[in-house]
Amino acid sequence: MTAITLRRHLTDAGHDSDLIFLLEDIASACRSTAYEVRNGPLKGNLGVADSINVQGEDQKPLDIIANDIFVSTCANSPRLAALVSEEIEEVVWLKEPKKGDYMLFFDPLDGSSNLDTNLSVGTIFSIMQIEEDGNRNVLRRGADQLVAGYALYGPATMMVLAAGRGVQGFTLHQGTGIFRLTQPSMSIPETTNEFAINTARRRFWDQPIRDYVDDCLAGTEGPRGKDFNMRWVASMVAEVHRVLMRGGVFLYPLDDKNRAAGGRLRLLYEVAPMAKIIEAAGGAASTGTERILDLVPTEPHQRVATILGSREEVALLEQMHRKPAEA
């Protein structure tokens, strides 16, 4: 039996036609971005561009291309009022906002440092709605998200959505350009024996993170009483997708090197969308001390500590962060 299409799934779920229109525009942008990523070496689009983004990071040519694709493609949506991108310093307002209009938050090419080595990259996106006519407030809690999703540009191009109930995974059929439902009702096991963290930053970690990783690495002889696997891809999309597919926990915590900036990953268009997806799949997402979806941003490019994945591990990490305060 042929898997149902993205459009059929969204229609059957009863979503508003304008929201479906916007999600189909996002799917089209993801298809175009996947094409550019696949052909980057042939078009000479690898390496570093002669520019930096608002984060002060060197831009890749494909960062700029992906951003332009999303802006030009999604701006066609009649109810899309605002765009907030990792690659653009200011909020882009497309129209005078009306109640119920949409705001699109996106990281056009997450993990672009992996491009030159041909490893997985992706796109992260989130949709919220304007609360009242003329309201230009984009600094909203993650809990207010209407839809969160990501695209993964790996061996297969996938789109994963938390839109309504649960989390659904769609795979792009290269011949037809249609996304079809291949991973319905994705869920994260409560327990796991796998974690992902950049151990090169160990000397900067706070004690709770050091203790957690040490306990995991101690294996069956340690306090956890079981062996753990450690993974690190340096692409949040790839890390979160692995957690969704087989469980695990992903950590990019606050540490001595990123503390002044508030963390490493961006709240509005990276962490909050992934937190919504993780929670919708039965997992948990925290800074170590607070639920991520409860955070109210203070500016569009705010950074935040990130711990997300299997519920049991996130709860343990929160408990370990509370210990110093309880002592």
- CATH number of the domain residue 117 falls in: 3.30.540.10
Domain count, the chain: 2
Is 310 annotated in some ligand binding site?
A: no
Please report which confidence band the pLDDT of residue 327 belongs to, taking 50, 70 and 90 as the band edges: very low
Residue 209 sits in the same domain as residue 261 = yes
Is 58 annotated in some ligand binding site?
A: no
CB 121 within 8 A of CB 114: yes
Residue 47 sits in the same domain as residue 105 = yes
Is 258 annotated in some ligand binding site?
A: no
Is 185 annotated in some ligand binding site?
A: no
Is 16 annotated in some ligand binding site?
A: no
Whether the predicted pLDDT of 53 surpasses 70: no
Is 113 annotated in some ligand binding site?
A: yes
Instruction: Report the percentage of the chain scoring pLDDT > 90.
Output: 91
For the residues 144-148, what does the mean pLDDT come to?
98
- Cα separation, 266 vs 304, whole angstroms: 6
Look at residue 143 and tell me if it is in a domain. Answer: yes
Residue 173 sits in the same domain as residue 207 = no
Is 142 annotated in some ligand binding site?
A: no
pLDDT, tens digit (0-9, with 9 covering 90-100), for 266-308: 999 999 999 999 999 999 999 999 999 999 999 999 999 999 9
In the block, tokens 């996938």 appear at 158
Domain carrying residue 308: 194-326
Is 149 annotated in some ligand binding site?
A: no
pLDDT, tens digit (0-9, with 9 covering 90-100), for 95-138: 999 999 999 999 999 999 999 999 999 999 999 999 999 999 99
Residue 35 sits in the same domain as residue 173 = yes
Q: What SS3 state is found at 126? A: strand
pLDDT, tens digit (0-9, with 9 covering 90-100), for 227-264: 999 999 999 999 999 999 999 999 999 999 999 999 99
- Cα separation, 26 vs 149, whole angstroms: 10
Whether the predicted pLDDT of 52 surpasses 80: no
Residue 173 sits in the same domain as residue 231 = no
pLDDT, tens digit (0-9, with 9 covering 90-100), for 84-99: 999 999 999 999 999 9
User: N- to C-terminal Cα distance for the chain?
Assistant: 59
226: left (phi over 0), alpha (psi -120 to 50) or beta: beta
- Cα separation, 157 vs 104, whole angstroms: 21
Residue 10 sits in the same domain as residue 148 = yes
Is 109 annotated in some ligand binding site?
A: yes
Instruction: Tell me the whole-structure pTM to 2 decimals.
Output: 0.96
Strand partners, 124: 107, 150
Residue 218 sits in the same domain as residue 179 = no
- Cα separation, 104 vs 145, whole angstroms: 10
Strand partners, 170: 159, 181
Number of other residues whose CB lies within 10 A of the CB of residue 175:
6
